Chains A and B, each alone.
Chain A
Amino acid sequence: MRVDVTGVAWSHVGGEDCIRLVGVAPGADVRVRVPPAHMVGELPPMAGRLIADGDDRCFVPRFPFIPGTAYAVVVDGETVAELARPRVERPATAEVLEIHPAVSEVPRNLLRIYVTFSGPMREGVAAAHVRLVDAAGVAMHDALLPMEPELWDGSRQRLTVLLDPARIKRGLVGHQELGYPLRAGERFRVVVDGAWLRVPHEREYAVIDDERRRIEPERWIVRAPAASTREPVEIVFDRPLDHALLARCLRVVGVDGVGRAGPEDRSWTFVPIDPWPAGAHSIAVDPVLEDLAGNSVDRVFDRDLADAADTPRTPGPVHLPFTTR
């Protein structure tokens, strides 16, 4: 029996997206399907409900139609129409704002890279678009740890990429067989590209020796501000520290203000909202703060059990005192 349908089109009913069918017999069986890419036998139809709107029948999907997807409308077992949902073309406007560490030299045991984008990114495709390339332009396979799920910040603008810890940690099979992902004395680039990016972005680094020391805030230089001013207090580190952790691991006890990492994340300044009260103050250091190789205030990244220098410090808060000038 020939199915008699006079019109099938994208439409709305009751404020919802639908596929509207005109001229369908009242008792007809109406289904909507996404034609499968390969034959897999009997598949369920798309979930949704059929609503009568006057003489028309409207298929309202339980899940929204997806732009760029084709939907087949089947009435009494016969495909009467195939509608393609219009694709939303979005111009490539996103760009990479920054790649951290924002330094020129990194230790061979570099652990972590942050890529910050100008807008929210889609989750699940980063691996195909962030890679390391050696000085000869050859992709460095197996240098980065494939992540599932990917590590995005809450705004989905900053992606955290780890160099494969199994190749950095001494003693593991990955390290034994493949060695460090990076080679001291050589250069490499972090390359981020993709069709959705306005322009590709990259940052080049020179690789220097390993960094295997615990962070010791006692070694930092603290430059105290003058009392009754809003001069910044400044800390100068003995090495670049982790950019993201710097944003939350340092504070001045009891003083509101704005903390900011300095160039290459080698320093930190804090400007109070109100002028400094004269006298003693204290900078609290969250001991989870790490350097570029994952060494923290509490512990080194991979501790040599035979080396007393690697012994973790006794857990607890760290305070750096300073007195206003």
Chain B
Amino acid sequence: MSELGLQVGAVALGSAGPITFGPEGILFLADNDAATIFAVDVGDPGAAAGAQPFDLEDVDARVAAHLGCEVDDVVIRDLAVHPTSHNVYLSVQRGLGADAQPVLVRVDALDGSIADVALDAVPFAAVTIADAPAPDDERVDGILWPDAGGEELHYGELALRILRQPIRAATVTDMAYVDGSLLVAGLSNEEFSSKLRRIPFPFRDEAADTSLEIFHVSHGKWETAAPIRTFVPYDSGRSILASYTCTPVVHFALDDLVPGTKAVGRTVAELGAVNRPTDMVTFVDGGEEYLLVANTSHGLVKIACADIDAQAPLTEPGEPVGVPREVEDLQGILRLANLNGGYVLALQKDEAGHKHLRSLKTASL
């Protein structure tokens, strides 16, 4: 693993965030409390799996049982499928509030058994995603931190502790690995921006990271920034489809994403008012690539990538909007991941609030 820059140690995971697999079974874990992304060799014990489906009823109750807590104390933040064993990894928060604890859970794809992945002695690397101030930035925050360390400044008879701290980090909303780079979308809790960060892997120094601001145009009239909620690469990583907090589905050509320039995406669909995308995945069926968008208001939305490429930028508001799509009668889907060539794995919440892992046969979607 040395060629990937991993070293054995304890992963000090502070919070459970998005996860995604990269090369050679490396799992990327975003820790939003620490503004850090870890790359971890999870040492998956499974053999190469076939193309069979995998379903597990009440996965939340099973995880709760293993973790020794009530099901309400389990928050499943994200889902990833190991590329060869097809074991399912869940980014889980156990407990609420100050006692909340992040746990990486592995669900065995053969028998559905639950295990937690020990992170105290594993090969890993880490990269910080804080927007650190430039070296010549002499700013003093002017924020007073009573007990936070920092340096003490005297102003009249007042002694103030001033912390020169990095600019607030982004909260990671989604990640994907493409061809030597980890793409990271995030939200700021302050400025309204839409940054897509590209971090080379193996991780190098921070200077190797690039980020760019992405805009979208609605109906040919208005151009705005928009934080990306979820995104998925397709067309062998040449294109990205991103969905925003405000529902448009927007296309970018990855080659166009040149750091330091403004990238304007092409809005290809809108998912409707008071609707939020929750996850996206692509799959290939019959030689054609398709996109699935899970969202909070409708069933699963399926879009042919060929239609995206053919879709002119939206210029007229109104329904139906954008590329042809099908709304599958699949409600309550929270997360999606490719299981194998024939199935997409969904984390689905039923009407009673119980969560299940369900395989969706791509040929039937």
Which residues in A have some Cβ–Cβ distance to B below 8 Å? 32-34, 36-38, 40-41, 43-48, 61-66, 69, 71, 111-112, 120-125, 142, 145-146, 149, 151-154, 158, 160, 162, 164-167, 169-174, 176-178, 230, 242, 244-245, 247-248, 251, 253-254, 256-260, 270-271, 273, 288, 290, 294, 296, 299, 301-306
Is B245 part of the binding interface, using a Cβ–Cβ cutoff of 8 Å? yes
Contacting pair A151 B321 (CB below 8 A): no
Contacting pair A172 B67 (CB below 8 A): no
Chain A residues with Cβ below 8 Å from B17 are 149
Given A32-B68, A152-B189: A170 touches B171 (CB 8 Å cut-off): no
Contacting pair B142 A258 (CB below 8 A): yes
Partner of A173, one of B103, B224, B226, B272: B272
Chain B residues with Cβ below 8 Å from A48 are 68
Contacting pair A46 B193 (CB below 8 A): no
Contacting pair B245 A63 (CB below 8 A): no
**Nearest chain-A residue to B101 (Cβ)?**
A63
CB distance from B315 to the nearest CB of A (A): 10
Contacting pair B192 A290 (CB below 8 A): yes
Chain B residues with Cβ below 8 Å from A66 are 68-70, 73, 95, 99
Mask: chain B, 246-282; 1 = CB below 8 Å from A; 0 = not: 1110000000000000000000001011101000000
Chain B residues with Cβ below 8 Å from A245 are 190-191
Which residues in B have some Cβ–Cβ distance to A below 8 Å? 17, 32-33, 57-58, 61-62, 64-71, 73, 75, 77, 93-101, 103, 113-114, 116, 138-144, 153-155, 160, 162, 167-169, 171, 173, 187, 189-193, 217-226, 244-248, 270, 272-274, 276, 296, 317-319, 321, 352, 354
CB distance from A269 to the nearest CB of B (A): 10
Chain B residues with Cβ below 8 Å from A176 are 273, 317-318
Contacting pair B247 A174 (CB below 8 A): yes
Return the 4 tightest CB-CB contacts between A and B, nearest first: A46-B68, A122-B97, A166-B246, A259-B142
Contacting pair A63 B67 (CB below 8 A): yes
List 9 A-B pairs, Cβ < 8 Å: A63-B69, A69-B68, A120-B98, A153-B189, A154-B33, A258-B140, A258-B162, A294-B192, A305-B220
Q: Beyond A69-B69, A122-B97, A301-B224: 18 further Cβ-contacts under 8 Å?
A: A36-B65, A46-B66, A46-B68, A47-B68, A63-B116, A69-B68, A165-B224, A166-B246, A166-B273, A167-B273, A169-B224, A173-B321, A176-B317, A178-B273, A242-B190, A258-B155, A259-B140, A290-B192
Contacting pair A149 B223 (CB below 8 A): no
Partner of A43, one of B61, B162, B222: B61
Partner of B221, one of A146, A151, A170: A170
Given A34-B68, A43-B62, A123-B100: A169 touches B168 (CB 8 Å cut-off): no
**Nearest chain-B residue to A310 (Cβ)?**
B223
Contacting pair A248 B189 (CB below 8 A): no
Partner of A33, one of B65, B169, B223, B225: B65
Partner of A34, one of B64, B219, B273: B64
Chain B residues with Cβ below 8 Å from A167 are 273
CB distance from B275 to the nearest CB of A (A): 8
Taken together as a complex, chains A and B put the C-alpha atoms of A256 and B169 apart, in Å, by 24
Given A62-B116, A271-B155, A302-B222: A247 touches B142 (CB 8 Å cut-off): yes
Contacting pair A63 B68 (CB below 8 A): yes
Chain A residues with Cβ below 8 Å from B58 are 40-41
CB distance from A117 to the nearest CB of B (A): 13
Taken together as a complex, chains A and B put the C-alpha atoms of A153 and B189 apart, in Å, by 7
Given A166-B273, A258-B153, A305-B220: A149 touches B65 (CB 8 Å cut-off): no
Partner of B65, one of A34, A125, A171: A34
Taken together as a complex, chains A and B put the C-alpha atoms of A121 and B96 apart, in Å, by 10
Contacting pair A37 B70 (CB below 8 A): yes
Chain B residues with Cβ below 8 Å from A242 are 190-191
Partner of A63, one of B98, B103, B247, B270: B103
Contacting pair A37 B154 (CB below 8 A): no
**Nearest chain-B residue to A141 (Cβ)?**
B274
CB distance from B26 to the nearest CB of A (A): 23
**Nearest chain-B residue to A142 (Cβ)?**
B274
Chain A residues with Cβ below 8 Å from B141 are 247-248, 259
Chain B residues with Cβ below 8 Å from A166 are 245-247, 273-274
Taken together as a complex, chains A and B put the C-alpha atoms of A288 and B167 apart, in Å, by 12
Contacting pair B224 A111 (CB below 8 A): no
Partner of B190, one of A62, A142, A160: A160
Given A153-B189, A169-B224, A303-B222: A122 touches B273 (CB 8 Å cut-off): no
CB distance from A248 to the nearest CB of B (A): 6
**Nearest chain-B residue to A171 (Cβ)?**
B218
Chain A residues with Cβ below 8 Å from B95 are 66
Chain A residues with Cβ below 8 Å from B75 are 124
Contacting pair B276 A146 (CB below 8 A): yes
Chain A residues with Cβ below 8 Å from B61 are 36-38, 40, 43
Contacting pair B272 A247 (CB below 8 A): no
Among the interface residues B77, B218, B224, B318, which one has the most CB atoms of the partner chain A within 10 A? B224
CB distance from B192 to the nearest CB of A (A): 5
Taken together as a complex, chains A and B put the C-alpha atoms of A125 and B317 apart, in Å, by 34
Taken together as a complex, chains A and B put the C-alpha atoms of A290 and B270 apart, in Å, by 27
Partner of A47, one of B66, B93, B191: B66
Contacting pair B140 A256 (CB below 8 A): yes
Taken together as a complex, chains A and B put the C-alpha atoms of A173 and B75 apart, in Å, by 31
Given A46-B65, A258-B140, A290-B191: A178 touches B94 (CB 8 Å cut-off): no
Taken together as a complex, chains A and B put the C-alpha atoms of A149 and B173 apart, in Å, by 8
Contacting pair B248 A172 (CB below 8 A): yes
Contacting pair A160 B65 (CB below 8 A): no
Contacting pair B139 A251 (CB below 8 A): yes
Chain A residues with Cβ below 8 Å from B162 are 258
Among the interface residues A34, A178, A273, which one has the most CB atoms of the partner chain B within 10 A? A34
**Nearest chain-A residue to B217 (Cβ)?**
A305
Partner of B224, one of A260, A288, A303: A303
Contacting pair B62 A149 (CB below 8 A): no
CB distance from A76 to the nearest CB of B (A): 19
Taken together as a complex, chains A and B put the C-alpha atoms of A2 and B318 apart, in Å, by 71
Chain A residues with Cβ below 8 Å from B190 are 160, 242, 244-245
CB distance from A84 to the nearest CB of B (A): 12
**Nearest chain-A residue to B65 (Cβ)?**
A43
